[in-house]
Amino acid sequence: MKQLLCVLLITATGMASAQTTYRWTDPATGNTIFSDQPPPPEIRKVTKKTGRDAGEDGQQSYAVRAAAEKFPVTLYTSADCTDTCQQARSLLNGRGIPFTEKLVQGGTPEADELKQLTGGEGFVPVILVGRQSNKGLDKSAWNNLLDLAGYPKTAAYGSKPSGAFAK
């Protein structure tokens, strides 16, 4: 019996998060009314809000937002970097880190940025966390940079992948 009650409560909670809420002012009392039922037809000004399930609105945790604001992450890749660059993307997405991916091609502004970061080399992948960079995929060095910037060690449930090839 307790198990059935728990299942019903969990189901009801899940349905409640996806419900519509109505807000209006009662003309008789001047009170603001919040309800899951539509207001009477004579009410003209109604605010309607539809709830979403957790993670559906793409909202990131406070820790991720704060770190991304102070130390944005950029990943430099190239078309001929396949396995190593995919591993780099996977590392960042596995930690739930929002990042910008710059695909480097000869003669582009991205190529010039990469040469400045690597001291003239066109080596990829390169990660830029705030103003700190690291060339080549050294997972411990990358994780250290990300830890120091305050990024979480694992992705939050429902986080969406970033980068140029995010689906």
Domains of the chain as residue ranges with CATH: 17-51 (no CATH), 62-149 (3.40.30.10)
Task: From 29, 25, 54, 59, select the one nearest 42 (Cα to Cα).
Answer: 25
The helix/strand/coil state of 135 is strand
CA distance 95 to 159: 9
Residue 158 region by backbone torsions, left for phi larger than 0, else alpha for psi between -120 and 50, else beta? left
Contacts of 26 (CB under 8 A, 6+ apart): 32, 33
Question: Residue 15 has what pLDDT?
Answer: 47
Tokens of 139: 């997972």
Which amino acid type is present at position 9? Answer: L
The whole-model pTM stands at: 0.63
∠ CA 47-51-57, nearest 5°, is 115
Q: 6-25: string of b/e by CB count within 10 Å (b at 16+)?
A: eeeeeeeeeeeeeeeebebb
With a cut of 70, say whether residue 165 has pLDDT above it: no
The 10s digit of each residue's pLDDT in 77-87 is 998 998 999 99
Q: Mean pLDDT score of the chain, rounded to an integer?
A: 81
Question: Residue 58 has what pLDDT?
Answer: 55
The 10s digit of each residue's pLDDT in 143-155 is 999 999 999 998 8
As to burial, measured by CB atoms within 10 angstroms (0-12 exposed, 13-18 middle, 19+ buried), residue 67 is buried
